[in-house]
Structure 1
Amino acid sequence: MKLKTFTLSLASLASLSLLVACSQRAQQVQQPAAQQQTQQTQQSQPAASSSTQNSNQAATSSSQNTVTAQPTNIDGTYTGQDDGDRITLVVTGTTGTWTELESDGDQKVKQVTFDATNQRMIIGDDAKIYTVNGNQIVVDDMDRDPSDQIVLSK
């Protein structure tokens, strides 16, 4: 009885090994066809990618033409109004001070740093966007809501 079970187990193992071997062989036959198809697709992609690169370069160069370079030397004293508060911005290089004189006489002074490359200024802990227009600095919130815009003049 044990010999019969052993022989049956051995036959099952041999059948399973044969199935695995045939399965691997079938995969090897299918892979070259798939690889050939992939190579054909890859060969046709360079033409498509070069046209995409050309359109990306055109878009990049046209968008670069619309960006106006901001002056790097904006030193000076700028003043303006924000919701009834008198604002004085004193700029020296890439730093400065932002002074708010409130209508009740309270005064708040905050340190300012400028990043001309990204047109950002940090007032205290607040990040703002700024643009320079002649003798004016226009300060916007990051969402560029026109109602929050502050115009400061030299």
Structure 2
Amino acid sequence: MKLTKIVSFTTVAALGLFLAACANTTNQAAPASSSSSALAASSSSTTTSSSTAASSASAAPATATQSGELDGTYKGRDEEDEVTLVITGTSGTWTQVEPDGEQEIKQVTIDPTNQRIIIGDDTERYFLEGNQLTIEDISEVDVDDTIVLTKQ
């Protein structure tokens, strides 16, 4: 009988220790998950902030077309003349062929920050939408002198 009481007491004591250990682990787990939740929330807001910053940075170039986006050959018409514009980086050539076959070639310089294109001695404004490059004469305000070229 004495042995049964010792075994029962030991069993109850072991069970008590086990329950105490489980309760202690649960209490420790809660703060750990709270701090990991806080860490996850902090990490999430950091990720969101950096995503927002990245999207803001990538949106900035859209307002001022970068010259690399312009690289290529564009063709179109300026009144009755055929125009070919070849751009590489911030420079290029403007070739204008008149109906009688006379050809005029001008050097081109691109200012992507201000969306300006200098063709020979003339400074124009340009806009790029998809494969359409629109060039507007900024010196003549009253006249609608716009040329639309298509990327080849």
TM-score, normalized by length of structure 1?
A: 0.54
Q: Is 1:72 matched up with 2:59?
A: no
**One-letter identity of the residue aligned with 2:147:** I
- Select 2:147's aligned residue among 141, 146, 150: 150
8 Å CA contact 1:71–1:132 kept in 2: the answer is: no
Q: Which has the higher contact order (CA 8 A, sep 6+)?
A: 2
- How much has 1:136 moved relative to structure 2? 1.3
Q: How does 1:21-32 map to 2 (within 5 A)?
A: none
Residues 84 and 103, structure 1, Cα contact 8 Å, conserved in 2: yes
Q: Aligned-residue CA RMSD in angstroms?
A: 2.2
The answer to whether residue 83 in structure 2 is matched with residue 87 in structure 1 is: yes
Q: Provide the C-alpha distance between the structure 2 equivalents of 1:145 and 1:84, rounded to a whole number of angstroms.
A: 21
Partner of 2:116: 120
Partner of 1:108: 104
Q: Is the 8 A contact 1:90 1:96 kept in 2?
A: yes
User: Structure 2: how far apart are the matches of 1:146 and 1:138?
Assistant: 15
| C-alpha distance in 1 between matches for 2:143 and 2:127 | 14
CA 1:70–1:145: 2 relative to 1, 3 Å: farther
- Give the match for residue 99 of structure 1: 95
Aligned residues: 90
Runs of 5+ in structure 2 lacking a partner? 1-59
Q: Which deviates the most, 68-77 or 87-96?
A: 68-77
Deviations 1:84-126, CA, capped at 9 Å, x for gaps: 1000000000000000000011000000000000111110001
Q: What is the distance in 1 between the residues matched to 2:65 and 2:132?
A: 12
Gap runs ≥5 in structure 1: 1-64
Local SS of the residue matching 2:94 = strand
The TM-score with structure 2 as length reference comes to 0.54
Between the aligned residues of both structures, percent identity stands at 54
For the residue of structure 2 that corresponds to 1:104, the secondary structure is coil
